[in-house]
Chains A and B, each alone.
Chain A
Amino acid sequence: MKSSNNKKQLLTGNEAAAEAAILAGCRYYYGYPITPQNELVNHMAIRMPQVGGTFLQAESEIAAIYMAYGSAAAGARVMTSSSSPGISLMQEGISYLAGSELPCVIVNMQRGGPGLGDISPSQADYFQAVKGGGHGDYRTIVLAPASVQEIADLVYDAFDLADRYRNPVMLLGDAQLGQMMEPVELKKIPRTQQTPRWAVTGAEGRARNIIKSFYPVKGELEAFNIRLQRKYKVVEQKEVRYEEVNTERAEIILVAYGTCARICKEALRRISGTGLQIGLLRPISLWPFPKEPLRRLAKKAKAFCVVEMSSGQMLEDVKLAVLNRCPVHFYGRMGGGVPSSKEVIKKVLNILAPEESTLELEMSEISQELGKGLYFSTIP
């Protein structure tokens, strides 16, 4: 498949991620097969040679992340991708990338876990992606697209963020986003990258460069960590991304990212005209997390309801942002279960009128579906 700009193409999310990376000037891709991101690996195998780039199928996800580390150390734009179990294997490498301050883009098309799990959509890697996953005090910038177009846009931006902050950036999608096809416009400007001055290129005519994360002299590592945290503060101030839908008048504000955010949007469409005032806050950057918008909305909303394909992972960040100013409810499905918009509506109705049996009757058609989910409320 050929890439052409300013024209809509029908691509899977995985293919769109690959095309956007190429557009962003990425010429090095290392990967290992795992469902549900095989379309990305396969697409890169075709496209990288066409653009003069390198595609290499590594012997493991561990090797893939360290090959990416090598190309990043050499100053090149580089990407790797995997799905949940493979991303677990990459965690050490992500810690080393952060510790060596190397830019790298990592795509995780999440699948059900724990363990081998299944190949269905999931959002159960939120903690791993957002809270670290590897060892040490580091942060990964995490972007969560909700459409194939947004996969393309965010992958492109991810390379700029990775370079600007010399930090790994993860695109956190899922099996559904990776494998579904949607029209995409690759509308951004093709990029070529200049080799940064800190890269290892061979020290011709200059002082040598060292890429390292080892600070054995007492005090040096602490000083380095302080500098890292200062950098992360800047990221938190400058790089928060989110979308608000109907939050102005909403009594209940849904909080969801990725696939779940799309399902919540569908729920909003279905209840429009009923007089119910429901809004949506969709975090696009999961780290840095949109804490301030949530705090602002907590002053006027009656309640939040977090919807996730997990047991309630982003929920913790919402609670931390809201700090008991407002009740926070939760609806989640796990292990590859995907909530329907009806289930979301049912949960919202329960929050609004927990005692009203008439509503229960009206919604009886979906009560079976709700039975599958995990739902609870935290009321201050």
Chain B
Amino acid sequence: MQALYRAPETLLRVPTHYCPGCGHGIVQRLLAEIIDEWGIRGKTIGLAPVGCAVLAYNYLDIDMSEAAHGRPPAVATGIKRVYPDNIVFSYQGDGDLAAIGMAEIIHAASRAENITVIFANNAIYGMTNGQLAPTTLLNQRTTTTPEGRNPLTHGYPLRVCELLATLDGASFIARTSLSSPKNVLQTKEAIKKGFKTQIEKKGFSLIEVLSPCPVYWRMSPVDSLKFIEEKMTQTYPLGVFKDWGKKEL
């Protein structure tokens, strides 16, 4: 009997620690699928962040390293400089990348570092019980903005793709979402393009993935996907913001 669909080999068969409806598991499965399809397990090195995704290495059967909070782009740089022909990616959340790690992400992009960053944006700090993130939407309630994010006191949501797309060193910058099977497949294509960017040494690539956090959004998993489609994409429109080979995607 021919198997038409199966779990990727690079995805380890272990119980997940992610909450029901969380997006991290989907993105990490996509990574495993790409690694299998391209046969690149032996040359891929991943960086796990501080945050919910720190245990990404429990699920991906590849060489991985942790990095301190916000520092995956610096650690990825240190690895990539040793193995310029390997595929080095960092996996980061919004607190990690857009708050504490803003200096590292901007400079990695500006240096045209040949790494791919998977940026899971769920507009909240999940690991620490749902605090305000730089990407939290206006009026969104978090444990540190109990009345909702007020621009007068908490400032505005930070658009990472738009910001990085202004840098000469950024070669492929895209925002996708996990709100539907179609969007999941587009996310996979965008990650492939990111990997292709570094394989062809075209410079820095980042794929921002709008990802649900039902527990700290205090919504059901289904409502969380609706929230992405109806609310998040208003602030964070999907699309390709920078592309070194536009015709190819």
Q: Chain A: residues with CB nearer than 8 A to chain B?
A: 28, 30, 54, 56, 58-60, 62-64, 66-76, 78, 92-93, 96, 100, 200-205, 208-214, 216
Q: In B34-92, which residues have CB < 8 Å from any A CB?
A: 41-45, 48, 54-55, 57, 61-68, 71, 74-83, 86-87
A205 near B42: Cβ-Cβ < 8 Å: yes
Task: Give the chain A neighbours of B196 by CB distance below 8 A.
Answer: none
B20 to chain A, nearest CB (A): 20
Which of A66, A208, A209, A216 is close to B75, meaning CB atoms less than 8 Å apart? A66
B41 near A28: Cβ-Cβ < 8 Å: no
With A63-B74, A202-B42, A208-B62 in contact, do A56 and B68 touch (Cβ < 8 Å)? no
Which chain B residue has the least Cβ–Cβ distance from A205? B42
Complex Cα–Cα for A59 and B57 (A): 28
A174 to chain B, nearest CB (A): 27
Which of A28, A68, A200 is close to B45, meaning CB atoms less than 8 Å apart? A200
With A200-B64, A202-B83 in contact, do A70 and B103 touch (Cβ < 8 Å)? no
A212 near B57: Cβ-Cβ < 8 Å: yes
A73 near B75: Cβ-Cβ < 8 Å: yes
Complex Cα–Cα for A92 and B54 (A): 17
A70 near B74: Cβ-Cβ < 8 Å: yes
Complex Cα–Cα for A203 and B77 (A): 19
With A66-B74, A208-B64, A209-B63 in contact, do A74 and B104 touch (Cβ < 8 Å)? no
Which chain B residue has the least Cβ–Cβ distance from A59? B107
CB<8 Å pairs between A and B, sample of 18: A28-B81, A62-B71, A67-B74, A67-B81, A70-B74, A70-B78, A71-B79, A73-B75, A100-B65, A200-B65, A202-B44, A202-B83, A202-B86, A204-B41, A210-B63, A211-B64, A212-B66, A213-B66
With A66-B67, A203-B42 in contact, do A54 and B81 touch (Cβ < 8 Å)? yes
Which of A54, A76, A202, A210 is close to B57, meaning CB atoms less than 8 Å apart? A210
Task: Give the chain A neighbours of B83 by CB distance below 8 A.
Answer: 74, 201-202
Task: Give the chain A neighbours of B76 by CB distance below 8 A.
Answer: 70
Complex Cα–Cα for A96 and B78 (A): 15
A75 near B78: Cβ-Cβ < 8 Å: no
A202 near B81: Cβ-Cβ < 8 Å: no
Task: Give the chain B neighbours of A71 by CB distance below 8 A.
Answer: 78-79, 81-82
Task: Give the chain A neighbours of B45 by CB distance below 8 A.
Answer: 74, 200-202
Known pairs A58-B107, A59-B104, A203-B61 / 5 extra A-B pairs, C-beta < 8 Å:
A28-B78, A69-B67, A70-B82, A73-B75, A208-B61
B63 near A201: Cβ-Cβ < 8 Å: yes
B63 near A208: Cβ-Cβ < 8 Å: yes
Complex Cα–Cα for A209 and B64 (A): 7
Task: Give the chain A neighbours of B42 by CB distance below 8 A.
Answer: 202-205
Produce 1/0 per residue, B99-130, CB < 8 A to A: 00001101100000000000000000000000
Complex Cα–Cα for A168 and B87 (A): 27
Complex Cα–Cα for A319 and B232 (A): 62
Complex Cα–Cα for A66 and B113 (A): 15
Complex Cα–Cα for A28 and B79 (A): 10
Which chain B residue has the least Cβ–Cβ distance from A70? B78
Which of A60, A68, A216 is close to B78, meaning CB atoms less than 8 Å apart? A68
Which chain B residue has the least Cβ–Cβ distance from A73? B65
Task: Give the chain B neighbours of A62 by CB distance below 8 A.
Answer: 71, 74, 103-104
Task: Give the chain B neighbours of A100 by CB distance below 8 A.
Answer: 65-66
B182 to chain A, nearest CB (A): 32
With A70-B74, A70-B79 in contact, do A60 and B103 touch (Cβ < 8 Å)? yes
A92 near B62: Cβ-Cβ < 8 Å: no
A67 near B77: Cβ-Cβ < 8 Å: yes
A76 near B75: Cβ-Cβ < 8 Å: no
A45 to chain B, nearest CB (A): 15
With A200-B45, A203-B42, A208-B62 in contact, do A92 and B68 touch (Cβ < 8 Å)? yes
Which chain A residue has the least Cβ–Cβ distance from B68? A96
Q: Most chain-A Cβ atoms within 10 A of its Cβ — which of B54, B75, B80? A: B75
Which chain A residue has the least Cβ–Cβ distance from B71? A66
B71 near A73: Cβ-Cβ < 8 Å: no
Which chain A residue has the least Cβ–Cβ distance from B40? A202
Which of B55, B61, B78 is close to A73, meaning CB atoms less than 8 Å apart? B78
B193 to chain A, nearest CB (A): 21
B139 to chain A, nearest CB (A): 34
A99 to chain B, nearest CB (A): 9
Complex Cα–Cα for A129 and B41 (A): 40
3 interchain residue pairs of minimum CB distance: A70-B78, A204-B42, A66-B74
B82 near A75: Cβ-Cβ < 8 Å: yes
B41 to chain A, nearest CB (A): 6
Task: Give the chain A neighbours of B55 by CB distance below 8 A.
Answer: 214, 216
Task: Give the chain A neighbours of B65 by CB distance below 8 A.
Answer: 70, 73, 100, 200, 210-212
Complex Cα–Cα for A60 and B105 (A): 12
Complex Cα–Cα for A211 and B76 (A): 13
Complex Cα–Cα for A210 and B68 (A): 15
Task: Give the chain A neighbours of B48 by CB distance below 8 A.
Answer: 212
B31 to chain A, nearest CB (A): 14
Complex Cα–Cα for A209 and B66 (A): 11
Complex Cα–Cα for A164 and B10 (A): 33
B201 to chain A, nearest CB (A): 15
Complex Cα–Cα for A64 and B73 (A): 11
Task: Give the chain A neighbours of B78 by CB distance below 8 A.
Answer: 28, 30, 66-74, 78
A203 near B63: Cβ-Cβ < 8 Å: yes
Q: In B202-218, which residues have CB < 8 Å from any A CB?
A: none
